């Protein structure tokens, strides 16, 4: 792969003339091109089978409005040649995701999807939800569309196959069966209530079910139930009946379970008024494992074929594609996309646009979902836009804010103090932008809310100035909302002046008389406090923003407190992992007793070597 650009200095011209100057340096190689504006910001990333032919197309008029605007803004170009067009396609989608160019169709919400993992690193395998890289030893089933879809399936699988979901450390420490055994969700392998061979058979049945061979599993369970009933083992028969019922419930909760589609993603696109929704249904093992909607950034002159191709390229950039992609709209480079995805998966990936039959019905159902989801989103966006205009009017802003940041702190008498920041914009909550701040200030008085807020904002602005000094990446807020009155506003303003960012509008939201919801007062620097009418929709909107910040801060604080409650000084000793920590606590009864133990007693603990006993002894006695 070679990279080259114009050997001359950047052309002073823009638009068609600028693009024409590059033609003399290009050959017919496949590759990827980037169009940049006068400040070297990437406007567009594209791929080409023949770079010279593709760029010469831009050097002539006759394009859509969007492309004309892009060409007019182009001040320079960059090129990467590749060995094949397939390589160019993969590189193009990778660069689009990294650079987020203004004029490309862009997939904005691209989270990983959860799987079910049957872990195989233990004699009695654990069944659990897994997200992220598949590094653990075991069998993975997925993807599922959401954590909720996984949890529902896991819940029913526990009833049907009685597999454990506890961690290995909890399994090893049990001396009697837990509540899950009592409510018939586990077979109690931790205390020997099922043999290793019997448990392995249940694991095998669960894997067969998740692989789509559910009918066979249910038939075998039905035979066992009849045998138990004939032998008058009514309790065992009732247990088997419950397991069959649980399997039936999994299938009914999945809705559509296509017979003729074993492994596919159904991808349906609906476009309206310059906006788009893509619905993806995950079909694995002839079962529907949920669906998810996406809203790629498109423009009014983007075709369905272009939007679908961009979505597929970016969506499967970091995911393994299934054997079939069943699409609502054909794409221009279907052969190329199929080749690229097959290369990525290491097996054939087929792209289909069905016209009739079961596959067409699946697309029709996904399309209906896409259409309804986009209608809801457009309605919500219109309401949100109206509210943001109201916020701009209420606080004398230059225009509706695109990014509102709301801050809150949470602590109990100064302990486990955290700050929370939530973000909202034209499309609602921007949850991937939420941030938590563990309050570090050793010099803070416990419960010093002013000091905590100053620390949070200092860290926030320091990071912003480092990450986006030119304020052109969309990371800077258009409005700050602070939980508090005049004192908080004054403290935050001080920080803003110190960092040279006092031009950002900032409002303190204080509870009014009797701390009553609806009597909030708004404080701005150098201005008198004011209130909004009790029934003003903007007031309700501000309350929702503040409540969300409060919820997020409290949740973060609780998680920190729970972690602190379960912590012991043993966690800080190098070489003392969960097993040795458990051995020490079991032997001595508490961390305090461990800290008082002499060296000989520490050496007497099972699993604690002489070297580790010395480490534990030194840790407590050097500290003391």
Q: Which range is least confidently modeled, 94-98, 137-141, 473-477, 592-596?
A: 592-596
Confidence at residue 624, expressed as pLDDT on a 0 to 100 scale:
40
* Residue 375 Cα distances to 259, 300, 371, 380, 381, angstroms: 31, 16, 6, 9, 10
- Model confidence at 264, in pLDDT bands (50, 70, 90)? very high
The pLDDT tens digits for 140-163 are 988 888 888 888 888 878 887 889
The mean per-residue pLDDT over the stretch 293-298 comes to 92
Residue 53 within a domain: yes
Q: Which range is least confidently modeled, 35-39, 48-52, 288-292, 415-419?
A: 415-419
The mean per-residue pLDDT over the stretch 252-280 comes to 83
**Is the pLDDT at 612 greater than 60, yes or no?**
yes
Bridge partners (DSSP) of residue 522 are 509, 530
**Is the pLDDT at 621 greater than 80, yes or no?**
no
Count of domains observed in the chain: 5
Bridge partners (DSSP) of residue 327 are 267
Residue 189's φ and ψ, nearest 5 degrees, are: -65, -25
**Is the pLDDT at 237 greater than 80, yes or no?**
no
Name the DSSP class of 530: B
The reply to whether 19 and 129 lie within a common domain is no
**Is the pLDDT at 544 greater than 70, yes or no?**
yes
The long-range contacts involving 24-29, CB below 8 angstroms and separated by at least 24 positions, are: 26/51, 26/52, 26/55, 26/79, 27/51, 27/52, 28/52, 28/53, 29/81, 29/82
Domain enclosing residue 228, as ranges: 115-253
pTM tops 0.85? no
Confidence at residue 440, expressed as pLDDT on a 0 to 100 scale:
72
The reply to whether 234 and 147 lie within a common domain is yes
**Is the pLDDT at 7 greater than 50, yes or no?**
no
* Residue 456 Cα distances to 452, 476, 488, 568, angstroms: 6, 15, 12, 28
What percent of the chain lies above the pLDDT cut of 70? 88
**Is the pLDDT at 357 greater than 80, yes or no?**
yes
76 compared with 517, residue with greater pLDDT: 76
Q: Which of 219, 184, 225, 192 is nearest to 205 (CA)?
A: 219
Helix (H, G, I), strand (E, B) or coil at 408: strand
User: How, if at all, do strands 76-81 and 31-36 pair?
Assistant: antiparallel
Residue 387 within a domain: no
Confidence at residue 514, expressed as pLDDT on a 0 to 100 scale:
54
The reply to whether 214 and 139 lie within a common domain is yes
Helix (H, G, I), strand (E, B) or coil at 205: helix
CATH number reported for the structural domain that contains residue 278 in this entry: 3.30.420
The reply to whether 551 and 576 lie within a common domain is no
The mean per-residue pLDDT over the stretch 217-231 comes to 76
The reply to whether 192 and 313 lie within a common domain is no
- Separation between Cα atoms, residue 271 and residue 554, nearest integer Å: 40
The reply to whether 283 and 332 lie within a common domain is yes
148 in Cβ contact with 292 (< 8 Å): no
CATH number reported for the structural domain that contains residue 90 in this entry: 3.40.1440.10
The pLDDT tens digits for 402-420 are 999 999 887 554 456 788 8
- Model confidence at 561, in pLDDT bands (50, 70, 90)? low
The reply to whether 549 and 583 lie within a common domain is no
Residue 383 within a domain: no
Helix (H, G, I), strand (E, B) or coil at 478: coil
- Model confidence at 199, in pLDDT bands (50, 70, 90)? very high
- Model confidence at 11, in pLDDT bands (50, 70, 90)? very low
**Is the pLDDT at 136 greater than 80, yes or no?**
yes
The reply to whether 333 and 230 lie within a common domain is no
564, 581, 608: which is the final residue of a domain? 564
7 in Cβ contact with 25 (< 8 Å): yes
Dihedral angle of Cα 306, 309, 312, 317, to the nearest 10 degrees = -100
546 compared with 515, residue with greater pLDDT: 546
Confidence at residue 347, expressed as pLDDT on a 0 to 100 scale:
93
Residue 219's φ and ψ, nearest 5 degrees, are: -60, -45
Helix (H, G, I), strand (E, B) or coil at 80: strand
């Amino acid at each position: 792969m070679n990279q080259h650009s114009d050997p001359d200095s950047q052309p002073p011209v823009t638009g068609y003339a600028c693009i024409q100057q590059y033609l003399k340096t290009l050959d017919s190689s496949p590759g990827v091109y980037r169009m940049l504006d006068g400040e070297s910001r990437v406007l567009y990333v594209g791929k080409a089978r023949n770079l010279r032919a593709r760029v010469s197309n831009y050097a002539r008029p006759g394009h859509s409005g969007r492309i004309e605007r892009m060409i007019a803004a182009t001040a320079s170009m960059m090129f990467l040649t590749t060995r094949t067009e397939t390589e160019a396609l993969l590189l193009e989608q990778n660069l689009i995701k990294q650079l987020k160019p203004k004029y490309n169709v862009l997939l904005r919400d691209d989270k990983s999807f959860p799987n079910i993992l049957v872990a195989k690193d233990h004699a009695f395998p654990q069944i659990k939800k897994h997200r992220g890289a598949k590094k653990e030893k075991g069998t993975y089933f997925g993807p599922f569309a959401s954590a909720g879809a996984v949890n529902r399936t896991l819940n029913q699988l526990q009833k049907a196959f009685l597999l454990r979901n506890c961690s290995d450390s909890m399994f090893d420490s049990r001396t009697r069966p837990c509540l899950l055994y009592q409510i018939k969700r586990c077979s109690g392998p931790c205390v020997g209530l099922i043999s290793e061979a019997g448990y392995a058979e249940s694991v095998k049945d669960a894997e067969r079910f998740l692989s789509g061979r559910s009918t066979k599993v249910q038939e075998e369970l039905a035979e066992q139930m009849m045998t138990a009933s004939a032998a008058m083992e009514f309790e065992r028969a009732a247990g088997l009946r419950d397991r069959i019922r649980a399997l039936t419930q999994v299938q009914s909760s999945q809705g559509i379970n296509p017979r003729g589609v074993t492994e596919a993603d159904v991808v349906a696109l609906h476009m309206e008024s310059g906006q788009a929704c893509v619905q993806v249904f995950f079909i694995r093992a002839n079962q529907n494992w949920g669906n998810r909607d996406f809203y790629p950034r498109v423009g009014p002159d983007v075709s369905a074929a272009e939007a679908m191709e961009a979505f597929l390229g970016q969506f499967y950039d970091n995911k393994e594609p299934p054997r079939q992609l069943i699409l609502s709209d054909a794409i221009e480079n279907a052969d190329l996309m199929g080749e690229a995805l097959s290369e990525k998966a290491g097996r054939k990936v087929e792209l289909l646009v069905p016209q009739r039959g079961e596959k067409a019905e699946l697309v029709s159902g996904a399309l209906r979902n896409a259409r309804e989801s986009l209608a809801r989103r457009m309605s919500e966006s219109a309401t949100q836009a109206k509210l943001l205009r109201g916020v701009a009017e209420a606080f004398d802003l230059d225009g509706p804010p695109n990014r509102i940041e709301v801050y809150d702190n949470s602590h109990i008498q100064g302990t486990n103090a955290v700050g929370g920041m939530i973000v909202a914009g034209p499309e609602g909550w921007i949850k991937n932008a939420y941030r938590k701040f563990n309050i570090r200030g050793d010099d803070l008085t416990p419960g010093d809310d002013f000091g905590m807020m100053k620390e949070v904002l200092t860290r926030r602005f320091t990071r912003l100035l480092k990450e986006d000094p030119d304020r052109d990446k969309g990371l800077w807020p258009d409005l700050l909302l602070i939980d508090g009155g005049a004192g908080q506003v004054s403290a935050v303003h001080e920080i803003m002046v110190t960092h040279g960012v006092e031009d950002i509008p900032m409002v303190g939201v204080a509870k009014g008389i009797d701390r009553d919801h609806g009597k909030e007062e708004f404080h701005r620097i150098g201005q008198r406090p004011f209130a909004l009418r009790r029934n003003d929709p903007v007031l309700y909107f501000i309350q929702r923003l503040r409540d969300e910040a409060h919820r997020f801060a409290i949740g973060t604080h609780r998680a920190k407190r729970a972690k602190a409650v379960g912590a012991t000084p043993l966690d800080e000793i190098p070489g003392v992992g969960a097993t040795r920590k458990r051995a020490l606590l079991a032997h001595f009864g508490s961390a305090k007793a461990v800290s008082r133990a002499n060296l000989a007693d520490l050496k007497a603990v099972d699993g604690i070597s002489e070297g580790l006993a010395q480490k534990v002894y030194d840790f407590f006695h050097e500290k003391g």
